[in-house]
Homo-oligomer: A and B are copies of this chain.
Amino acid sequence: MTEPGQPIKIFNARTEWLRGEGLSCDVVLSSRVRLARNLAGLPFVAQATRTDRRHILDLCRARLVGAGLAKQLMWLNLHDAPPIDRAVLAERHLISKQLARGVLPGRDAAPDEPRGVAISIPDERLSVMVNEEDHLRLQTIRTGLDLRGCFEQIDAADDSIEAGLDYAFHPRFGYLTACPTNVGTGARFSVMLHLPALRMTGEIDKVKNAAEDMSLAIRGSHGEGSQNTGDIFQISNQTTLGKSEDVLLAEMQDEIVPRVVEYERRARTMLLERRRTILEDKIHRALGVLRGARLMTVDEAMTLLSQVRLGVVLGLIEDLPQQTVNHLLLIVQPAHLQRIANKEMPQGARRIARADLIRERLGPGTNETPRNGQ
């Protein structure tokens, strides 16, 4: 457990989902499974009083810390954590933006709302949010296309937690959740995909339409309403009621995602074969600008890094490990940037710090692992 005021220990070189390895890792950045659970006999978070929520938090924390979920588990009281740490966790997808800010459904942000998160360290594969929309939101995240691995881990964690807590469960509907779309298995499967070629060829819209027809959501990397900066898209199932977890999982892991991966690969091959020089031009200009710039916005950084990532995957850029680019896609974000600099910075200073960090990491011929593994 981390005491209030201590810096969070999430900066390490072993964050699993950033490794840029695993099945279809040329296209799939990471896989995630999420479960929504609520305690029996207690009101949902939005309906609960603050006293209730404090009680829920105490119950959940005690159980999470005692359930043997991981070799090492970090617990963080988010109402005690500095805003920058909370924002860092959200940028790492370990907590939601809502939980970071202390937003309950339909209310304004209240940073002192009693809430917390348990994170397995150093791999950051498992995280459990307490007092988000549901009492418990479990999440597992892994590099590449590995929803099955994610599910096995989350299923085991779920069982361990349930062994000491009474979940709200209805014999007909399944697990009860605050939002009806999560009722049932309460499971959401999602993958983070890098689809630059489909975007360049304009076929991304076809993929989006096809996904909607299958009741899937395609969104930006930070979920609902977020932009798809850097050509990174998240595909997830929209409903959890009516289909078993096994069916949902198999559909996503074995059919839908492989099909999108295939589309993206075909588009990349087409670009390589028919527009190679234009593609190389775009990719190497992107790298040139990243290596030269002294000022950079987060959006420009994501866009250029996305093009560079494509270049690395296609072998058009050598001596640059994919992991370095994956890392940069994460740490160019505002909270990480400030955390690395160890100070708060206004936007202008962040633009300078971001360009400096990128140059440092992308220096010509960089092929070592990032120095402090962020």
Contact = CB atoms under 8 A, between A and B. Distances in A.
A355 B278 CA distance: 12
Interface stretch (A64-72, A175-183, A262-270, A281-289): A281-289
A286 to B, nearest CB: 7
A208 interface: no
Name A's interface SS: helix
A287 B292 contact: yes
Tallying the copies of this chain within the complex gives 2
Interface residues of A, number: 19
A294 interface: yes
Given A284-B294, A294-B284, A364-B364, A352 B277 contact: yes
Interface string A285-308: 111111111110000000000000
A243 to B, nearest CB: 48
Nearest to A290: B288
A285 B293 contact: yes
Contacts of A290: 288
Interface in A229-258: none
A293 B364 CA distance: 15
Nearest to A365: B364
Contacts of A293: 281, 284-285, 288
A85 interface: no
A61 to B, nearest CB: 46
A320 to B, nearest CB: 13
A20 to B, nearest CB: 22
A137 to B, nearest CB: 42
B289 A277 contact: no
Contacts of A289: 285, 288-289, 292
Contacts of A280: 294
Contacts of A281: 293-295, 355
A56 B145 CA distance: 81
Contacts of A285: 288-289, 292-293
Interface string A77-100: 000000000000000000000000
A153 to B, nearest CB: 42
A277 B293 CA distance: 10
A352 B278 CA distance: 10
Nearest to A278: B295
Interface of A: 277-278, 280-281, 284-295, 352, 355, 364
Q: Which 7 A-B pairs give the minimum distances between C-beta atoms?
A: A288-B292, A288-B288, A284-B292, A281-B294, A281-B295, A280-B294, A285-B292
28 contacts: A277-B294, A277-B295, A277-B352, A278-B295, A280-B294, A281-B293, A281-B294, A281-B295, A281-B355, A284-B292, A284-B293, A284-B294, A285-B288, A285-B289, A285-B292, A285-B293, A286-B292, A287-B288, A287-B292, A288-B288, A288-B289, A288-B290, A288-B291, A288-B292, A288-B293, A289-B289, A289-B292, A364-B364
Given A281-B295, A285-B293, A286-B292, 8 more contacts: A281-B294, A284-B293, A285-B288, A285-B289, A288-B288, A288-B289, A288-B292, A364-B364
